[in-house]
Amino acid sequence: MAQSTAAPAPVAPSAATPLPLRAIAPWAVFFGVLMLVLLYFVGAEQGATALLSGEGVHEWVHDGRHLLGFPCH
């Protein structure tokens, strides 16, 4: 059996197609709202604007609160 010695033809790189803003916008809004909710629970919950009663949320986010520089006690 004879082997071919011809090199494969080079493949031209395809240009990246940009994503339309319409496809990105819902995900950007979703993650933005998610980050704001997370920031609220880490930074403000169990303070003057507490939405939930008790110390449960405070205990869950206590270390993250200190890591991000939010005072809690």
pLDDT of amino acid 1: 60
Q: Is 57 exposed, middle or buried (CB count within 10 Å of its CB: 0-12, 13-18, 19+)?
A: middle
Instruction: Find out whether 25 and 33 touch, Cβ atoms under 8 Å.
Output: no
pTM recorded for the entire structure: 0.57
Give the pLDDT score at 4: 65
What pLDDT, on a 0 to 100 scale, did the predictor assign at position 26?
A: 95
- Report CA dihedral (17, 21, 23, 25) to the nearest 10 degrees: 150
Question: Of the candidates 73, 51, 13, 23, which has an alpha carbon nearest to the alpha carbon of residue 59?
Answer: 73
pLDDT in tens, 14-57: 788 888 889 999 999 999 999 998 888 777 766 666 777 777 77
What is the band of 62 on the pLDDT scale with cuts at 50, 70, 90?
confident
Q: How far apart are CA 7 and CA 34, in angstroms?
A: 52
pLDDT at 2: 60
